[in-house]
Structure 1
């Protein structure tokens, strides 16, 4: 969901009662400000976060926001749902109504852990584009014991006939007989559960601990959230 760009004159005409003819002298006399600087180029590209004012009247003042949420089990990764609680229901009312909020990296109904929420489409796109290969870190609890054969199986990738795809190599670290860490650079449908399914070993607990360098804050209880720090935001290149 990349932030859309628009020509400055088009944006102003759409968000005010001015015509393009009326706008020209305002541009020429420095009465149009973009990000608090006077501009005279009607073709300048502006986006969702450009601060735009005309003759002292603010037409747009959107601020980017970035949250991390510890998703509880039994919540839906959606803005709204008629039957179940959603991750947006975990937000305070003043945050839940921020325009343009969307989820970065959805989790299944029973999966817990790190979910990112933002209104910055370009930032979230950098996190989700396949060619960026941003690594996601999961902790997995399994019904049956695991052994070293799982490590090579995940590292080689697995072919899923239904979609005719082969998964990218994934790292697996064994923590104990029934617990592992998995590091993925993609997110196919129910991928981790299906990969362990190749070993006939059901996943009984799945928790996302990190996306790239952004790690779930250990002080956040299920359902709690906080704003990202400047370092967490800027670390996504």
Structure 2
């Protein structure tokens, strides 16, 4: 999802369908306001969340939205799908406009999924160099042994893509249940890593992204808005 930053003069020319020279006159005459302040700088960078008005007419007024969703199994991480219910359809239609998904979960994976209309926030979380940790609870078909944790910590080589996974942390919680923390998200990575031990993943649930954990009171299929602190909390371990 690309950021929507643009120069003020270019935005006004497009929004008002007028030549750039006319935009300059509007700015010089004090008819343009950005976030309630007089704007005369043509090079001023604005984004989709700045409130922009011209001669008293509001051209743009959009607020950032951030949601956490407890995605159930059987719901797809997509904005549109012909076969399955999408995660966006879990929200009221009035809230869906402009939202995109921050990372994805497979059809058969449950847990924390984030939605926003803030492209810079989602890019910060998802860019490969951010190394944002993601925590999963994994239920296995066969018992776990002491061999698993060192193998996950060392990384695993997959010849098909010619890649070695980044070190991952595995903690055994019960004979068939593990907590796994990744800082990347290769294709079906957790299932493939356990596949090295011929141990099938029975259930997969994401419980945390960065510093933000899934609300324990949020039932599968339910959602809520993030608090201001939680928006920052999600970014807490970027680059660590």
Report what 2:23 is aligned to.
Answer: 23
From 217, 221, 228, give the equivalent of 2:219. Answer: 221
**Residue equivalent to 2:176:** 178
> Which residue of structure 1 aligns with residue 197 of structure 2?
199
Question: What residue number does 2:160 align with?
Answer: 162
Structure 1 residue 124: Cα displacement:
0.6
Structure 2 unmatched runs, 5+: none
Give the SS at the match of 1:173: strand
Give the equivalent residue in structure 2 for 1:52: 52
- TM-fit CA distance, 1:62: 1.3
Q: Which runs of 5+ in 1 are unaligned?
A: none
Q: Aligned residue for 2:6? A: 6
**Whole-Å Cα distance in 1 between the matches of residues 232 and 207 of structure 2?**
19
Q: Displaced runs of 4+ in structure 1, greater than 6 A?
A: none
Equivalent residue, structure 2, for 1:131:
129
- Which of 21-30 and 74-83 deviates more? 21-30
Distance 1:17 1:191 in 2: 49
Q: Secondary structure at the match of 2:122?
A: helix
Give the CA deviation at 1:148.
Answer: 1.1
Superposition CA RMSD, Å: 1.1
Deviations 1:25-59, CA, capped at 9 Å, x for gaps: 32112211112111111121211112111111111
Shift of 1:77: 0.4
Aligned residues: 235
Deviation (angstroms), 1:17: 3.7
Structure 1: how far apart are the matches of 2:208 and 2:32?
Answer: 43
Post-superposition shift, 1:10? 1.1
Q: Deviations over 1:204-237 (max 9, x none)?
A: 0000000011100011111100000111112326
Residue aligning to 1:36: 36
TM-score (norm 1): 0.96
Counterpart CA distance in 1 for 2:24 and 2:88 is 43
Q: Deviations over 1:159-179 (max 9, x none)?
A: 011100000000000001000
Q: CA deviation at 1:23?
A: 2.4
Q: Which stretch shows the higher mean deviation, 208-217 or 126-135?
A: 126-135
Partner secondary structure for residue 15 of structure 1 = helix
Cα distance in 2 for partners of 1:146, 1:234 equals 36
Q: Residue deviations 1:64-108, cap 9 Å, x none?
A: 100000000001100010011110111111112x22x11012000
**Cα shift readout 1:121-179 (whole Å, capped 9, x = no counterpart):** 11011111121111000000000000111000000000011100000000000001000
- 1:117 and 1:50 map into 2 onto residues whose CA distance is 20
Range moving further from structure 2, 139-148 or 21-30: 21-30
TM-score (norm 2): 0.95
Distance between the aligned counterparts of 1:234 and 1:84, measured in 2? 32
